Structure 1
Amino acid sequence: MERKVVGVLLCYSSLFLCASASIRFSNVFGSNMVLQREPQKAVVWGYSSPHDEVTVTCGNFRDSVMADNQGEFSIALPATHPGGPYTIVAESKNGGDKAMLENVLFGDVFLCGGQSNMQFTVDSAFNASMEIAAANKYSDIRVMTVGEGTQSATPLSELGSIAQNWSVASEAAIGHGNWSYFSAVCWFFGRDLYDTYHIPIGLISDNWGGTPVQSWSGPDALAKCNQTLREATEIVEVPGAEISLGRNSNLWNAMIVPFLNMRLIGAIWYQGEANVGMGPQHGETYYACQFSAMIQDWREKFNLENMYFGFVQLAPWKSSGSTLVAELRTGQEAALKLPIVGMATAVDHGDLTSPFGSVHPRAKQPVGLRLSATARALLYKEKLVYQGPMISNAHANGNQVVVNFDPSTLGSGLEMKPAACPQGLPPQYCMEFELQTSDQKWHAAQGTIQGNTVVVSMSENVTCVASAAVSVITVRYGYADWPLCTIFNKEGYPAIPFSYSIHG
């Protein structure tokens, strides 16, 4: 999907001074933005003439710094309480010129990355008109959208294109149009945080449809998973998926590196579709390695060891009728082994009739709220249930399997809800429970809640007698393109799909 670019590296109203001026801030900054609040010290930087003495003021703060050989200057501001507005001025001693950032707030800043489901705009989501009109009430949320104007084989110091300069949240800033701005998942995530804590929120929408995790991973992250820096031509397009573009690290270089000196508190991520069907070496095992490596590398390069990172587990999607999407979802879950990483699953929000294709469901509100819940629990340390039931172990009992769940994900207890394959979707795309026997055959099964466990039994139309020769070896739940989600905790979070080996 293409996004209209409304700015390039020239002269954006308050973002830059005109080209003839001798001093300006980097184009990742702009009037109406949010800078990271205490305890971090926000950093601002820009460009003047080489060795120029630059004086920066913000409120009662005033300090000077010398620009380097290339004319770049950088200065850390004092740790600042949430609020504002502030005017930040950078003044050149050599030229006497000034650059200004006006109406700046201090609060919490998040980067929202990934591919088209993160790019998917509020204008395209369910209840769009109501949601866009409500944006006028949120003037303390500030938004920016990076343009799709640049890929680069080498790291860039500034953004190559900007679709939306830093803006005060409003109908115009949030509802600009389909695939333009603003990101629905990013908006609903940030809005819920603001409603909860009432501190300014800065949201950077930084995404590109159809892109694999390799594009967003730097060379150091790629090296951890034995991924060489070659053109990603091995990608196999899955029906309904997006076509990947570019080379490994091309978007890391162009769309992440320019932000690395900026202080922020976390990131959210919706990506994975472009890595489905990339071949055996790029399935569950590869994504499990590369996605986790990317998160760790981002934290290292942003110099934020405890950077919050939330991601979306892929929604139902008419892909190939195989287990490829399910395997990718499992690969995503590996990131949960890292600290302060939260997963918002979308497996119960399929949208077969979406005008944007089933890969682009319109129910973005619940996804944003679930991401916000992970941040509230992991970042802000609020005590709340934020995850659906996750399998801890399972054991066979004759023809049945007893599934136990991680107690921390049970919430107030388990409950069952009905689910059915959408009309018109072939049955092989949908799945609830399955049992595999030692003769390698898969059998449809049914689950029954018994206390805090689920007992899985063969369906009535299947005859399978447990014996020394034939026994149950694997239990699966929702392990398909289109999971049939029937198990939830009472807080409304669906059980996470799984494939669990009983033996070996």
Structure 2
Amino acid sequence: MLFLLLTTIFVRLSFGLHFSNVLGDNMVLQRSPQQAVVWGFSSPFDVVTVNFNGFKDYTAADLNGQFRMVLPPMEEGGPVDVLAMSTITGDQALLRNVMFGDVFFCSGQSNMEFTLGSGFNASEEIARANLYPNIRLMTVGQRTASPTPLTELQTIEQEWSIASNESVGGEDWTYFSAVCWLFGRDIHDYLKGAVPIGLISTNWHGTPVQDWCSSDALAKCNQTKCKHATCNGVGADEGNSALYNSMIAPFLPMRALGAIWYQGEENVGTGPQFGEDYYACQFPAMIEDWRDKFDLKDMYFGFVQLAAYKENGGTPVAALRSGQLAALELPMVGMASAVDLGDLYSPLGSIHPRNKQTVARRLAATAKALIYKEILVHQGPMFAGAFAANSSKISGSIDETSVLISFDPDTLGSGLIMKKVCCPEDLDYKYCSGFQLQTADQSWHNAMAMVYGDTVVVSSAMVEDQRVLGVRYGYGDWPVMTIFNKEGFPAIPFTYTL
């Protein structure tokens, strides 16, 4: 035991005092009312002083040589330099050009990894980045996984950088995340450029939700062993939690305002770690666990409901979209539905739609409402209820076999509209509404729909003289989406038994 301890001390002493590698020059630390944290490593039990902007205090490193300093609440702005100094060796470490503002994590699989140069209007979007020097970026490297939580990153793709066409417009699938950048830019503009924005892109293509969950989060859904060929991450053998341990855990001392998430495709399917029921448990468990581990109980979390896509003849993605909705039961969680943004001709496959601008704008709307308390519509119409027309007192010529759909008033915005869309060739245009009715034989029939004020009336000649048992909307891998609020947000798919 003594030998091991002395070995640890020798390694730390030989490496010298340094800040954690998740921190760096040009970074953004979280502004007040939170108190930002800086941390790093020195000799075990070293006394480390931290000095910046007239503030000076000291802290002791622990047995492993890790020191941690909670800074006083800081208003937005900067820059400042943060200096740490060891009282044992006299070594110094310096963070230069640090700003205080709002910090966001951006995580998930390939649609979050998807870089700006692969999306629509790539050249224009990349060129504009030079206008945003107060947005700072960091990209965590891949080829990194661990069976236990790490205190530092194994690889870094892009160290903290000032936004520019170089730092935003890297090679495809390297840096920087398109959704993350566009979201951060929208928030920056909303705050009129007065608040620096820090964006941390930590994602990995083709990874399921369980890779991003701690062992505690997995235990909440009775998951302890990986059963999916790719759930270890590409080239990793460590099992579940491998990417949480290596790409999330090193950030845990950091203060942040929130996170955005674009993932779910890898959990589409059947089996114990796939589909609606599993995701409806594990995804909310992950969110709650991240909040616990970061010690940020009110941490904002925005996620993307999966877009329409067809891969290898189609996949049962509708169930996964339904499972995602369970996260909305948690406070401070917002959803940006992308169901209407399918991109059949994307050169990267329809699973990778190129319209990341709309995705980011919808995510930013949830952040404006939930974080900054802006009163605005930030969600598409959410199903509230349905009943058969013959049980209502609505007058007029509505057929008795019709079903009336109502929506949550808070999501109606300025009112409902029905958009004309391109219909599949095998679908009669009058039934191209996205709605289906279920009859007593359990079969589903395409239906017509009309908007009456804040209500949608659904009917079908194919169910005449039959008992209607259920109604659904937006069902399928590539559903027809016709119902929106006037603010442009799509109605959220649902299935309901009458």
TM-score scaled to structure 2, two decimals? 0.91
Residue of structure 2 equivalent to 1:24: 18
Residue of structure 2 equivalent to 1:465: 464
Residue of structure 2 equivalent to 1:113: 107
Residue of structure 2 equivalent to 1:477: 473
Is 1:390 aligned to 2:382, yes or no?
yes
SS of structure 1 residue aligned to 2:339? coil
Q: How does 1:255-274 map to 2 (within 5 A)?
A: 255-274=247-266
SS of structure 2 residue aligned to 1:482? coil
Q: 1:179 to 1:281 in 2, by over 3 A?
A: closer
Residue of structure 2 equivalent to 1:238: none
**Residues 314-369 of structure 1, C-alpha deviations (whole Å, 9 max, x = no match):** 00100466772111001001100100100001111111110100000000001001
The residue type equivalent to 1:91 in the other structure is M
Offset at residue 225 of structure 1 (A): 1.1
Residue of structure 1 equivalent to 2:458: 456
Residue of structure 2 equivalent to 1:77: 71
The residue type equivalent to 1:52 in the other structure is D
Residue of structure 1 equivalent to 2:149: 155
Q: 1:141 to 1:130 in 2, by over 3 A?
A: same
Residue of structure 2 equivalent to 1:44: 38
Contact 1:212 1:272 in 2 (8 A): yes
Residue of structure 2 equivalent to 1:349: 341
For residues 222 and 83 of structure 2, the distance between their equivalents in structure 1, rounded to whole angstroms, comes to 46
The residue type equivalent to 2:371 in the other structure is L
SS of structure 1 residue aligned to 2:447? strand
Residue of structure 2 equivalent to 1:9: none
Residue of structure 1 equivalent to 2:409: 407
Moved more, 69-78 or 314-323: 314-323
Offset at residue 20 of structure 1 (A): 5.6
For residues 320 and 439 of structure 1, the distance between their equivalents in structure 2, rounded to whole angstroms, comes to 30
Moved more, 363-372 or 60-69: 60-69
Residue of structure 1 equivalent to 2:209: 213
Alignment equivalent of 2:360, drawn from 340, 343, 368:
368
Residue of structure 2 equivalent to 1:441: 443
Offset at residue 44 of structure 1 (A): 0.7
Is 1:306 aligned to 2:298, yes or no?
yes
Offset at residue 388 of structure 1 (A): 0.6
Residue of structure 1 equivalent to 2:135: 141
Alignment equivalent of 2:123, drawn from 126, 129, 146:
129
For residues 344 and 386 of structure 2, the distance between their equivalents in structure 1, rounded to whole angstroms, comes to 32
Alignment equivalent of 2:87, drawn from 84, 93, 99:
93
Contact 2:143 2:234 in 1 (8 A): no
Contact 1:212 1:244 in 2 (8 A): no
Q: Which runs of 5+ in 2 are unaligned?
A: 1-11, 390-399
SS of structure 2 residue aligned to 1:483? coil
**Residues 183-232 of structure 1, C-alpha deviations (whole Å, 9 max, x = no match):** 00001110000001121000000000000001001111111111123343
For residues 274 and 308 of structure 1, the distance between their equivalents in structure 2, rounded to whole angstroms, comes to 24
SS of structure 1 residue aligned to 2:279? helix
Q: Which runs of 5+ in 1 are unaligned?
A: 1-17, 236-241
Residue of structure 2 equivalent to 1:104: 98
Is 1:224 aligned to 2:220, yes or no?
yes
For residues 358 and 416 of structure 2, the distance between their equivalents in structure 1, rounded to whole angstroms, comes to 20
Residue of structure 1 equivalent to 2:372: 380
**Residues 14-67 of structure 1, C-alpha deviations (whole Å, 9 max, x = no match):** xxxx99651100010000000000011111111112222211111111111121
The residue type equivalent to 1:406 in the other structure is D
**Residues 281-326 of structure 1, C-alpha deviations (whole Å, 9 max, x = no match):** 6211110111011101111111011110000000010046677211
For residues 481 and 172 of structure 1, the distance between their equivalents in structure 2, rounded to whole angstroms, comes to 36
Contact 1:154 1:253 in 2 (8 A): yes
Offset at residue 182 of structure 1 (A): 0.4
> How many residue pairs align between the two structures?
470
SS of structure 2 residue aligned to 1:311? strand
Q: 1:85 to 1:281 in 2, by over 3 A?
A: closer
Determine what percentage of the aligned residue pairs are the same residue: 60
SS of structure 2 residue aligned to 1:335? helix
Q: 1:307 to 1:497 in 2, by over 3 A?
A: same
SS of structure 2 residue aligned to 1:221? helix
Q: 1:70 to 1:123 in 2, by over 3 A?
A: same
Q: 1:105 to 1:424 in 2, by over 3 A?
A: farther
Residue of structure 2 equivalent to 1:53: 47
Alignment equivalent of 2:289, drawn from 297, 312, 316:
297
Q: 1:494 to 1:30 in 2, by over 3 A?
A: same
Is 1:253 aligned to 2:255, yes or no?
no
Moved more, 398-407 or 126-135: 398-407
Offset at residue 423 of structure 1 (A): 7.9
Offset at residue 233 of structure 1 (A): 3.8
Q: 1:422 to 1:434 in 2, by over 3 A?
A: closer
SS of structure 1 residue aligned to 2:222? coil
The residue type equivalent to 2:211 in the other structure is S
For residues 129 and 13 of structure 2, the distance between their equivalents in structure 1, rounded to whole angstroms, comes to 34
Contact 1:211 1:244 in 2 (8 A): no
Moved over 4 A (4+): 18-21, 242-246, 320-323, 421-425
SS of structure 1 residue aligned to 2:340? coil
Offset at residue 454 of structure 1 (A): 0.4
Contact 1:21 1:97 in 2 (8 A): no
For residues 320 and 432 of structure 1, the distance between their equivalents in structure 2, rounded to whole angstroms, comes to 23
Contact 2:227 2:273 in 1 (8 A): no
**Residues 74-117 of structure 1, C-alpha deviations (whole Å, 9 max, x = no match):** 11111000000010011112211211100000000000000000
SS of structure 2 residue aligned to 1:348? helix
Residue of structure 1 equivalent to 2:7: none
Contact 2:228 2:273 in 1 (8 A): no
For residues 327 and 203 of structure 1, the distance between their equivalents in structure 2, rounded to whole angstroms, comes to 31
Residue of structure 2 equivalent to 1:178: 172
What's the RMSD between the two structures over aligned residues?
Answer: 2.2
Offset at residue 151 of structure 1 (A): 0.8
TM-score scaled to structure 1, two decimals? 0.90
Residue of structure 1 equivalent to 2:268: 276
Contact 2:49 2:56 in 1 (8 A): yes
For residues 277 and 83 of structure 1, the distance between their equivalents in structure 2, rounded to whole angstroms, comes to 47
